[in-house]
């Protein structure tokens, strides 16, 4: 097997080798603009989320803002189908790329119109037993205000799709049961028990600082409960289930430590038994994405974790890997060296990884791009 680049530590390299990446596979990385400010009569696109339907169809969800940050916002998406339209291989960014999946996308469609309000913070979760995609989001009356200063101006909404994102149900209002909870943004996770978990943040009262937490459902999305908040000064969060069943919450930190904040739960997010600053994951006070390998690793190795966030201000989008349930992390590979901010990430049906992220030449809110790469590229082969 070829040697890995120097970004891998010795222990990381040994664990990654257990995945038995085939010598014949070539590194593949592609990057394309998917939502560009000014297109489709949208002033600015923000807050990407990425999820894969049971069919393999990729759903790229975003906020389509009519004006600036404080203006009305629709929740919208584009889709790409698996395996995609037929076509010969071609070269993109110096790597061979099969035409179709993750390259061709449907025109944008509206999931929930703002109608003068802002629909924000998509955080979908897939129930694999039913094939239903649940989509929690937050509605703010009269424009954007995610600081929970007035609990009566915001509503926690829940819609869903049984058609791979073609049709969406009229949203349910969960605010009465879960006041002042804002989902994600990013994606939820289904635990091995079948519990659906949506990470986010919650404020105990108006004008009180929010804290990271999760909401969860044990009856396939019919009812939802909120777990305990973490103690650290945190907000936007993403969750992943570890190989031993522990739920790990990875949070944006406002603690001034320059790194992410992590909490761990043995009961699916109801309580947290451990919390700590994670110095291996630099934190510019921005959202980040995390996911777990979908399939069991080879030779009994632990499924590996992938984490993406900007590391130098809102720039230098970096992807890192852990092969020991988040105890250590690689130094990472760069997806975008320039301006970059929020992201959504998913394992795609063909085994590659997709990252939907904010970027631009001058600032990170000029467009939302879609990067796609395989394990060989991530390993630096």
pTM for this predicted structure: 0.89
Q: Which one, of 43, 7, 105, 88, lies nearest residue 356 by Cα?
A: 105
pLDDT of residue 31 exceeding 50: yes
Is there a domain that residue 40 lies in?
Answer: yes
112 neighbors 119 (Cβ within 8 angstroms): yes
**1 lies in a domain?**
no
Give DSSP secondary structure letters for 224-288.
Answer: -EE-PPPSSSEEEEEEEE-TTS-EEEEEEE-SSSSEEEEEEESSTTSS-SEEEEEEEEE--S---
Is 2 part of a structural domain of the chain? no
Weakest-pLDDT range from 97-101, 119-123, 147-151, 212-216: 147-151
Average pLDDT over every residue of 262-266:
99
How many whole angstroms separate alpha carbon 318 and alpha carbon 314?
11
- Judge whether 315 lies within some domain: yes
Higher pLDDT, 119 or 298: 119
Closest C-alpha among 73, 179, 62, 64 to residue 117: 73
Domain count, the chain: 1
Find out whether 56 and 294 touch, Cβ atoms under 8 Å.
no
- Give the domain extent around 215: 29-379
265 in any annotated domain: yes
- What does the pLDDT read at residue 262? 98
Quote the CA–CA distance of 158 and 119 in Å, as a whole number.
Answer: 11
Q: What is the mean pLDDT of the chain?
A: 88
Residue 263: strand pairing partners:
249, 275
Tell whether 23 is covered by a domain: no
Question: What CATH number is given to the structural domain containing 165?
Answer: 2.120.10.10
Tell which residue, 103, 225, 109, has the closest CA to residue 174. 225
Q: Out of 97-111, 308-322, 350-364, which region has the weakest mean confidence (pLDDT)? A: 97-111
Query: Is residue 18, in this structure, part of any structural domain at all?
Result: no
On whether residue 263 sits in a domain, the answer given is yes
Q: Using an 8 Å Cβ cutoff, are 129 and 194 in contact?
A: yes
Whole-number pLDDT of residue 178: 96
């Amino acid at each position: 097997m070829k040697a890995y680049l120097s970004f891998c530590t010795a222990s990381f390299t040994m664990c990654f080798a257990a995945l038995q990446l085939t010598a014949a596979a070539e590194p593949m990385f592609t990057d394309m603009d998917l939502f560009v400010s000014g297109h489709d009569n949208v002033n600015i696109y923000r807050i990407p989320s990425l999820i894969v339907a049971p069919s393999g169809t990729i759903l790229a969800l975003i906020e389509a803002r009519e004006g600036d940050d404080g203006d009305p916002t629709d929740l919208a998406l584009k889709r790409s189908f698996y395996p995609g339209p037929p076509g010969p291989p071609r070269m993109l960014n110096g790597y061979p790329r099969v035409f179709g999946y993750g390259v061709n996308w449907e025109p944008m469609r509206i999931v929930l119109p703002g109608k003068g309000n802002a629909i924000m913070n998509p955080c979908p979760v897939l129930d694999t037993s039913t094939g239903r995609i649940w989509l929690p989001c937050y509605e703010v009356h009269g424009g954007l205000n995610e600081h929970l200063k007035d609990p009566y101006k915001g509503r926690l909404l829940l819609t869903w799709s049984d058609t791979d994102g073609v049709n969406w149900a009229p949203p349910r209002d969960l605010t009465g049961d879960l006041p002042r909870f804002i989902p994600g943004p990013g994606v939820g996770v289904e635990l091995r028990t079948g519990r659906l978990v949506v990470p986010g943040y919650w404020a105990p009262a108006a004008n009180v600082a929010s804290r990271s937490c999760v909401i969860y459902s044990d009856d396939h999305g019919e009812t939802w409960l909120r777990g305990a908040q973490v103690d650290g000064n945190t907000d936007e969060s993403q969750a992943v289930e570890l190989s031993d069943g522990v739920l790990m919450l990875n949070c944006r930190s406002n603690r001034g430590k320059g790194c992410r904040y992590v909490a761990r739960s043995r009961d699916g997010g109801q309580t947290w038994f451990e919390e700590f600053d994670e110095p291996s994951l630099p934190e510019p006070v921005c959202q980040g994405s995390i996911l777990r390998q979908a399939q069991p690793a080879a030779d009994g190795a632990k499924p590996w974790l992938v984490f993406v966030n900007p590391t130098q201000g809102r720039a230098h989008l970096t992807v890192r890997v852990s092969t020991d349930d988040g105890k250590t992390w690689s130094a990472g590979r760069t997806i975008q060296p320039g301006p970059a901010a929020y992201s959504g990430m998913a394992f795609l049906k063909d085994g590659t990884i997709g990252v939907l992220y904010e970027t631009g030449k001058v600032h990170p809110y000029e467009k939302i791009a879609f990067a796609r790469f395989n394990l060989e590229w991530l390993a630096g082969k």
